[in-house]
Amino acid sequence: MADEVTVPQQHSSKNKGSESHPPGKFPNIEEGKQTSANGVLEALGYEPELVRNRSTLQVAFMSFVLAAIPYGLATTFTYPLIGGGPVNIIWGWLAVSLITLCVAVSLGEITSVYPTAGGVYYQTFMLSPPSYRRIASWICGWSYVVGNITITLAVNLGSTLFFVSCVNVFESAPGVGIFQATTYQIFLIFLAVTFLANAISAFGNKWLPYLDTFAIFWTLAGVLAIVVCVLAIAKEGRHDAEYVFTSFEPASGWPAGWSFCVGLLQAAYTTSSTGMVICMCEEVREPSTQVPKAMVGTVMLNTLAGFLFLVPLVFVLPDTKVLAALESGQPVPSIIKSAIGSPAVPRLSPEAHGRLLVMGVYQAPYGGGR
């Protein structure tokens, strides 16, 4: 933190009105005088209300779960598959992850100075020129809320479509899944996932740190199971390394360069939750250091986990034209079924079931702007 940071009084859920400052007179935070995170908040004009009961690892686990690497990459796998094939899948993920790491480092530095649950809208106010800082903060805040609502619904819809696709690896006839869900059935499943996730998030807050810890091991176990099974069995054979790391096969109909960029949507969607963890600043004991460390560390862990998840799938990739033509738009269950030679593994995969609830629970609070 700088030697002296001048910050304005801002409104929170409970502003300390009795200590309000006249216009233009703002409180100061002087290094060494604020010995606690709550003291920093009070100097910023906030009255602390949340319980600081999370460790750095728990915040990192939550950030990892929000990104949900296997879930995010699996449900949007069709974008790079059509956009450019193996090159788009592997190198697109690494490129976007590198960009995201730069974003996380920058956000972490800003958060170390302004560690409030308001996050980016408060930081926007502080970093903008005085003449338009209010409108910039207003636009940022509402864009953040609308974006989080939208991505929450996208997560729940993706969970629904992925669930239906996993069920349909079991076939009543060749090429015909056992659950030919109609539009209204898919919508009802989507509503069930949404309401269940929000209910757990709203009424089970004290259990969420434990769910954080469970979810990261659940995720890593799922990634390990998929990697080992598809590479060890590989019923349909394996591609060589040249195909996996150099084959570029755009099938979107767009010019090659634009098609590659469209394929990056998979990685962008998966890593879009990086800044959400800033909202946890008022639930850790040392937010100025814990939250930035969690953000940067999780991006690096996500990059590695995503790479380990994607490379084996590309090694056993079936005909990309067949995958691109799937009505469900969810190729990963079919890829795993093809590699294993049995529908049992996709059905039992942790990503096929447990991720639905875990991801919805952790996206739900942010959809409401937390």
pLDDT digits (tens, 9 = 90+) for 302-312: 899 899 999 99
Rounded to whole angstroms, the Cα distance separating 108 from 187 reads 38
| pLDDT value, residue 45 | 66
| pLDDT value, residue 29 | 43
Intervals of CATH 1.20.1740.10 along the chain = 51-367
State phi, psi for 10 to the nearest 5 degrees.
-120, 155
Q: What is the DSSP string of 218-281?
A: HHHHHHHHHHHHHHHH-TT----HHHHHH-----SSS-HHHHHHHHTHHHHHHTTTGGGGGGGG
Rounded to whole angstroms, the Cα distance separating 360 from 170 reads 25
pLDDT, mean of residues 319-343: 84
H or E element: which one contains 205?
Answer: none
| pLDDT value, residue 48 | 66
CB 116 within 8 A of CB 283: no
| pLDDT value, residue 223 | 81
Q: Which of 115, 86, 153, 144 is nearest to 276 (CA)?
A: 144
Per-residue pLDDT band for 20 (boundaries 50, 70, 90) equals very low
| pLDDT value, residue 185 | 92
| pLDDT value, residue 342 | 66
Average per-residue pLDDT for the chain: 78
CB 207 within 8 A of CB 362: no
pLDDT, mean of residues 247-256: 90
| pLDDT value, residue 313 | 93
- CATH class entry, domain 51-367: mainly alpha
pLDDT, mean of residues 164-184: 82
Model confidence pLDDT, tens digit, residues 179-199: 888 899 999 999 998 998 888
Structure tokens at 178: 């056992």
Per-residue pLDDT band for 57 (boundaries 50, 70, 90) equals confident
Per-residue pLDDT band for 128 (boundaries 50, 70, 90) equals very high
| pLDDT value, residue 71 | 80
| pLDDT value, residue 23 | 41
Q: Which residue has the higher pLDDT, 134 or 325?
A: 134
Q: Does residue 156 carry a pLDDT above 50?
A: yes
CB 33 within 8 A of CB 320: no
State phi, psi for 184 to the nearest 5 degrees.
-70, -30
Q: Does residue 60 carry a pLDDT above 80?
A: no
Q: Which of 304, 369, 298 is nearest to 105 (CA)?
A: 298
Most confident of 12-16, 25-29, 55-59: 55-59
Per-residue pLDDT band for 63 (boundaries 50, 70, 90) equals confident
Candidate from 191-205, 247-261, 267-281 with smallest mean pLDDT: 267-281
Candidate from 65-69, 181-185, 357-361 with smallest mean pLDDT: 357-361
| pLDDT value, residue 6 | 42
Q: Does residue 314 carry a pLDDT above 90?
A: yes
% the chain with pLDDT above 70 = 77
Q: Is 173 helix (H, G, I), strand (E, B) or coil?
A: strand
